[in-house]
Chains A and B, each alone.
Chain A
Amino acid sequence: MGLAAENFPHIIRQLHPPVHILNSFFMKNALSITAFLFLLVGPLTAQRFFTRDAGVKFDATSPLEKIEGITKSGTCVLDTKTGNMEWKVLIKGFQMEKALMQEHFNENYLESSTYPNAQFKGKITNLNEVNFAQDGKYNAQVKGQLTMHGVTKDVEMSGTVKVNGGNITLASNFRVAAADYNISIPALVRDKIAKTIQVTVEALLKPMK
């Protein structure tokens, strides 16, 4: 209990009660204080990890045209206890090499003013094989729903979970078919854009405070 008192020196200074009174106060209310501390500390004992700098890259390169977009401002939250995770990326955040291509990507294909985000909500299904308490690299199977361009689809992918000094790195590489998400490619440019898009994601997650 003395530990708790040390943690709140400002309170002691404000109240200025003799130490023995303080001690008896803690003894009497030991259980209540424990419960209270759990309420406070509960969410802190990191089960949640997050970042706002998750990297997402897509590649729709065809033999005729290099089409690549990268963003470094994705949001990702992982709950290590349940294995639940959520990703969110701003479509407008994707940078492409050609400015006009980027405008077309936003205006004509992903329609980012109507559908500003892409989102993934999923779960690590082989949670028993991932030990978040021990540094190492683990393979993870993830199942969930991917929403973009106003369409939600069930998806499954495999990736890696790297635990290193209290931080977690998630990485994966999967394919998405443009047609599944109602992204129409006009006949004129059909040969210039790959029909399945390679998506690479990587996020370094830190404990949520």
Chain B
Amino acid sequence: MKNFFLLFLLGITCSLQAQTEDLLAGLPDEPTTDYTIATFKSNRIINGHSIENTAPGVLEFKISHRFTPLRQGFYDMFGLDNANVRIGFDYGLTPRLMIGIGRGGREKIFDGFAKYKILRQSTGKVNIPVTLSYLIDAQIKSLKFTDSERANKFTSRIYYTHQILLARKFSERLSLQLMPTLVHRNLVPTPGDKNDVFAIGAGGRIKLTKRTAINAEYYYVPQGQINQSYANSLSIGWEIETGGHVFSMHFTNSEDMTYKGFITETQEDWFFKNDENRLLSGIRFGFNVSRVFTVRKIKKINGL
């Protein structure tokens, strides 16, 4: 009887093995890390950087325009008659490191930067809630010195920016970013101006469709560092991606696209009252266009 029972048990185990349907479930779990991608569409939110890097081996050509304020009306086509233009090239060296250079028309300014991704947002085996990047950017004003009496040094032309970029993609639709920023100015206009200007930036993206998004960016400069007539920079834009291009069209109150320019020298608020107490608007139209070129292709995995 006992033996019969054992044989019966044996029969059951064998047949059970044959019947198991879910084959993958039988495999032991092997945790993997899922890195968040596409927190932002572009490596800039609008004027400032986002945590996105240009991919390794990719050259990105950028043309940006900031027009004069809309308030001039139809006479100068809502500001479109005049523009500050920046032309730049960005290049990805490694998955974490990118560099770039550019030239802006206002103050004939050259700029160059390096951006390094320290942490990548991920879930799974490695769980990190945010992406963290560090940016160093130098700007060189090449406009002729106006005061020839003064000892004009080359170093007086240089501005430095250090920035921590901290971003999280909360969902497919929403990404937010914080950017504590330090702008160092070698030469300041008055003794009351600080050489080191601290600012805190906040930005974000709301994705509307697969290929379009709304971006916004604001930089707040605490009082007592720059002339109080300067305004904080606020930009709101609409972004559309078509194949290798990203177009960003936006409204902003900043004419300059370099850090020292839009953080410490934005002249007008979105809305302000002039000396005659008339309500005016400093809103201007602008756009960024980027085109990518794959210079170095990702190495193919062997086989297949």
Q: Report A's interface with B, CB cutoff 8 A.
A: 31-32, 35, 38-39, 42-43, 47-48, 50, 52, 55, 57, 70-72, 75, 77-79, 81-82, 84-86, 88, 90, 92, 95-100, 103-104, 106-108, 111, 113-114, 116, 186, 188-189, 192, 200, 202, 208
Contacts and interface: CB of A to CB of B under 8 A. Distances in A.
27 contacts: A38-B13, A38-B14, A42-B13, A43-B17, A48-B23, A70-B301, A71-B301, A72-B303, A77-B24, A78-B23, A79-B20, A86-B22, A88-B24, A92-B37, A95-B300, A97-B294, A97-B298, A99-B55, A100-B55, A100-B244, A107-B37, A114-B172, A116-B34, A186-B211, A202-B304, A208-B26, A208-B27
Contact of B210 (A97, A107, A202): A107
Contacts of A55: 303-304
Interface of B: 3, 6-7, 9-10, 13-14, 17-18, 20-24, 26-27, 30, 32, 34-35, 37-38, 55-58, 92, 172, 210-211, 242-244, 292, 294, 297-298, 300-301, 303-304
Contact of B297 (A32, A97, A114): A97
Given A81-B18, A85-B23, A96-B298, A200 B38 contact: no
B27 A77 contact: yes
A90 B210 contact: no
Given A77-B23, A92-B34, A107-B37, A32 B6 contact: yes
Contacts of A108: 210-211
Contacts of A114: 172
Nearest to B55: A99
Nearest to A45: B17
A99 B23 contact: no
Nearest to B169: A113
B58 to A, nearest CB: 6
A108 B38 CA distance: 11
A19 B96 CA distance: 66
Given A77-B24, A97-B298, A57 B304 contact: yes
Nearest to A38: B10
Contacts, number: 102
Contacts of B304: 55, 57, 70, 200, 202
A101 B212 CA distance: 17
Contacts of B21: 84
Given A32-B6, A86-B24, A98 B303 contact: no
Contact of A39 (B13, B23, B57): B13
Nearest to B52: A103
A66 B6 CA distance: 62
A184 B22 CA distance: 31
B57 A99 contact: yes
A99 B301 CA distance: 15
Given A57-B304, A106-B38, A208-B26, 16 more contacts: A42-B17, A77-B23, A85-B23, A88-B24, A92-B34, A95-B298, A96-B298, A97-B298, A98-B297, A99-B55, A99-B294, A100-B244, A103-B37, A107-B210, A202-B304, A208-B27
A95 B301 contact: yes
Contacts of B3: 31
Contact of B26 (A77, A92, A111, A188): A77
Contacts of A31: 3, 6
A99 B58 contact: yes
A90 B31 CA distance: 12
Contacts of B300: 70, 95, 97
Residue among B27, B172, B211 facing the most chain A CB atoms (10 A cut-off): B27
B209 to A, nearest CB: 10
A48 B26 contact: yes
Contacts of A188: 242-243
B5 to A, nearest CB: 10
Residue among A43, A99, A108, A200 facing the most chain B CB atoms (10 A cut-off): A99
